[in-house]
């Protein structure tokens, strides 16, 4: 009975606090109403994924995405900043790709190539060889390399094989070491041949393994491309080691194919058995002349009382292009866009400025957010919070804040439990954390390093859609269909309410208790050492 009374009391408190807050600010009511009856989050995502597509920086798709996002902000009555971040020496566009095995038991091939790597020169067909591991093996098969697809060792992690001069030097060292191993194995074989029947033979030494060990030599010999085994779902990233030095005079010349691991095993076994078959590929990877500029897109809702104080929300606009970036980070950028639309549609006029930041080049190293922080040091102490979403399409249903912020967020979050009873919202008090020394793997990282609050929504798959971010992250499955509509739409409303509420406070959020004092950090380190 006591628990029932307590539950009833809490419900009443939430109801009255929501009612009081709603009466004070009819804009919040309007945001919720529009968000529930005319939510356009998935429309934005549809355009981003299915009309524009995968969008690494340097691509025409990324440029199209920036223009589209800017046009939507303008349409909603916002100011727009096309914030130049940097340039790439060349651009890259991905076209269709297709491959098949030609044999009595032929099959369509399931594969991908990393961005900023070569396509084929039209349809190319050739036999299959297994890469050489020593100079003697290379010399023995050199004549057969022309017109061959070469199977290389290792399991793909999505990155292409390094084709830089530094990598060539490292490979040459291993080739030299393998030559010594080969010479020693000759001696071992000679000894083993002289052993009497029944005598235990000496084990041969193992060659040092390096995928595409004879890369440069095989290219010069005329191979069509290299093929590496890839776990499913296939990951395809970009040529991070060479992208800054690429020009039209030193572009990669052969495809770097990441092939379905199950198909790879079949083809490898057939090659070992020296069966007669061919592989055929048509891969349309294209480069464009640089330099190619890329930009953050920033939508501005100007503050009425504190225009030089800020609340930031957003996610990164770029994505990898082996899929269409529906989750990473369409599920982050489009709820932020919709939150901005809801605020504008509801007639919101926040006291401080709201910046809706669609970051560039997150996948290439947090380029856009890092650049903005470096160029806007005068604004950093005037940012109330930086809300970043980059964790998938699960529903925003909680916040954990320092005690100094709790009273403010308690008032701001009061209306959230009225939106949809399927998604109850929880506000918790959090303990101070260590201030990071290095930016982590998302766009809030550069802000946290310089002390800007980066309170982030907790999320949950509370309806059991069996969402697995690791299955989608940077893979061929990062598609529009993997986003969860009701979670995305609810998140856009929650984001709009909270961001607008923070922007409408009479003060910046307190930073007291956000980070541990340096002395506390040292104490923690000492405790760890003692343990």
One digit per residue, the tens of pLDDT, for the chain of length 531 reads: 444 444 444 444 444 444 444 446 899 999 999 999 999 999 999 999 999 999 999 999 999 999 999 999 999 999 999 999 999 999 999 999 999 999 999 999 999 999 999 999 999 999 999 999 999 999 999 999 999 999 999 999 999 999 999 999 999 999 999 999 999 999 999 999 999 888 899 999 999 999 999 999 999 999 999 999 999 999 999 999 999 999 999 999 999 999 999 999 999 999 999 999 999 999 999 999 999 999 999 999 999 999 999 999 999 999 999 999 999 999 999 999 999 999 999 999 999 999 999 999 999 999 999 999 999 999 999 999 999 999 999 999 999 999 999 999 999 999 999 999 999 999 999 999 999 999 988 999 999 999 999 999 999 999 999 999 999 999 999 999 999 999 999 999 999 999 999 999 999 999 999 999 874 554 555 455 444
Contact in structure between 18 and 417 (CB atoms under 8 Å): yes
> Are 301 and 270 contained in the same domain?
no
On whether the CB atoms of residues 212 and 226 are closer than 8 A, the answer is yes
Q: Are residues 414 and 367 in the same domain?
A: yes
Q: Burial code of 175-191, b = ≥16 C-beta within 10 A, e = fewer? A: beebeebbeebeeeeee
Query: Is there a contact between 92 and 253 (Cβ–Cβ < 8 Å)?
Result: no
The position carrying tokens 């919202």 is: 425
Q: Is residue 374 part of a domain?
A: yes
Domain endpoint, select from 276, 300, 333: 276
Residue 12, pLDDT score: 46
**Residue 471 lies inside a defined structural domain of this protein:** yes
**Same-domain status, 233 and 337:** no
The DSSP bridge pattern shows strands 79-102 and 278-301 to be antiparallel
Do residue 166 and residue 307 come from a single domain? Answer: no
For residue 41, being part of any structural domain is answered with yes
Q: Is residue 96 part of a domain?
A: no
Please state the domain count of the chain: 2
CB neighbour burial string for 220-230, b if at least 16 within 10 angstroms, e if fewer: ebebbbbbbbb
123 and 86 in a single domain? The answer is no
Q: Are residues 315 and 365 in the same domain?
A: yes
Beta strands in 65-199 (DSSP E): 79-102, 107-108, 111-112, 124-130, 148-155
Query: Does residue 97 belong to any structural domain of this protein?
Result: no
Place of tokens 């190539």: 113
Query: Edge to edge, what strands does the sheet with 426-430 contain?
Result: 426-430, 395-402, 458-460
Q: Which of 252, 276, 300 corresponds to the end of one domain?
A: 276
Q: Is residue 5 part of a domain?
A: no
Nearest to 295 by CA among 212, 371, 220: 371
- List of residues 6+ apart from 489 with CB closer than 8 A: 35, 39, 41, 42, 338
CATH number at residue 219: 3.50.30
Q: For position 336, which CATH number holds?
A: 3.40.630.10
Compute how many other C-beta atoms are within 10 angstroms of the C-beta atom of residue 74.
12
In a domain, 102, yes or no: no
Residues 380 and 349 occupy one common structural domain: yes
> Is the residue at 282 inside a domain?
no
Give the span between the Cα atoms of 140 and 286, in whole angstroms: 35
Q: What are phi and psi of 431, to 5 degrees?
A: -90, 155
Quick one: pLDDT at residue 4? 45
Is the same domain home to 149 and 254? Answer: yes
User: Does one domain contain both 354 and 222?
Assistant: no
Give the Cβ contact number of residue 22 at 10 Å: 16
Burial class, 88, CB count within 10 angstroms (exposed 0-12 / middle 13-18 / buried 19+): buried
Report the alpha-carbon distance of residue 409 to residue 199 in Å, rounded: 79
What predicted TM-score, i.e. pTM, was given to this entire model? 0.92
Rounded CA-CA distance 386/365 in Å is: 19
Q: Which of 251, 276, 301 is the last residue of a domain?
A: 276
34 and 171 both lie in a single domain: no
Q: Are 27 and 33 in contact (CB under 8 A)?
A: no
315 and 265 share one domain = no
For residues 259 and 325, membership in a common domain is answered with: no
- Domain membership of residue 258 as a residue range: 107-276
């Amino acid at each position: 009975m006591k628990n029932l009374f307590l539950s009833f009391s809490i419900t009443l408190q939430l109801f009255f606090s929501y009612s009081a807050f709603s009466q004070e600010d009819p804009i919040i009511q309007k945001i919720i109403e529009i968000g529930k009856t005319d939510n356009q989050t998935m429309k934005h995502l549809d355009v981003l994924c299915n009309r524009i597509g995968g969008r690494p920086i340097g691509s025409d798709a990324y440029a199209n995405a920036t223009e589209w996002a800017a046009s939507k902000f303008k349409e909603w009555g916002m100011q727009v900043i096309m914030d130049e971040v940097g340039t790439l020496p060349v651009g890259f566009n991905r076209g269709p790709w297709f491959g098949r095995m030609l044999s009595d038991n032929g099959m369509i091939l399931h594969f991908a190539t990393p961005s900023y790597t070569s396509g084929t020169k039209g349809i190319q067909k050739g036999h299959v060889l297994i890469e050489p591991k020593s100079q003697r093996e290379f010399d023995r098969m050199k004549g057969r390399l022309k017109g061959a697809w070469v199977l290389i060792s290792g399991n793909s992690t999505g990155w292409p094989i390094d084709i830089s001069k530094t990598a060539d030097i490292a490979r040459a060292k291993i080739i030299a070491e393998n030559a010594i191993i080969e010479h020693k194995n000759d001696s071992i074989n000679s000894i083993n041949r002289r052993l009497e029947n029944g005598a235990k033979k000496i084990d041969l030494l193992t060659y040092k393994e390096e995928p595409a060990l004879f890369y440069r030599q095989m290219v010069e010999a005329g191979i069509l491309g290299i093929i590496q085994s890839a776990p499913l779902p296939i990951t395809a990233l970009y040529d991070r080691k060479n992208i800054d030095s690429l020009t039209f005079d030193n572009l990669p010349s052969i495809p770097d194919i990441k092939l379905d691991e199950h198909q790879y095993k079949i083809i490898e076994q057939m090659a070992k058995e020296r069966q007669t078959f061919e592989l055929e590929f048509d891969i349309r990877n294209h480069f464009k002349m640089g330099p190619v500029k890329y930009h953050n897109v920033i939508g501005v809702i100007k503050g009425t009382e504190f225009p030089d104080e800020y609340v930031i929300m957003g996610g990164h606009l770029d994505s990898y292009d082996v899929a269409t970036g529906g989750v990473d980070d369409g599920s982050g950028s489009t709820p932020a866009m919709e939150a901005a639309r809801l605020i504008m549609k509801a007639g919101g006029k926040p006291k401080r400025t709201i910046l809706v930041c669609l970051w560039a080049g997150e996948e290439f190293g947090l380029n856009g957010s890092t650049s903005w922080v470096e160029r806007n040091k005068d604004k950093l102490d005037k940012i109330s919070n930086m809300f970043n979403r980059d964790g998938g399409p699960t529903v925003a249903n909680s916040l954990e804040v320092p005690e100094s912020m709790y009273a403010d967020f308690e008032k701001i979050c009061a209306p959230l439990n009225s939106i949809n009873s399927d998604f109850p919202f929880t506000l918790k008090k959090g303990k101070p954390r260590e201030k990071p020394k290095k930016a982590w793997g998302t766009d809030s990282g550069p802000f946290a390093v310089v002390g800007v609050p980066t309170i982030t929504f907790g999320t949950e798959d509370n309806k059991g859609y069996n969402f697995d971010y690791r299955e989608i992250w940077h893979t061929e499955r990062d598609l529009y269909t993997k986003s969860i509509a009701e979670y995305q739409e609810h998140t856009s409303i929650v984001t709009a309410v909270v961001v607008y509420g923070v922007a409408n406070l009479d003060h910046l959020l307190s930073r007291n208790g956000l980070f541990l004092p340096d002395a506390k950090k040292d104490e923690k380190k000492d405790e760890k050492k003692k343990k």
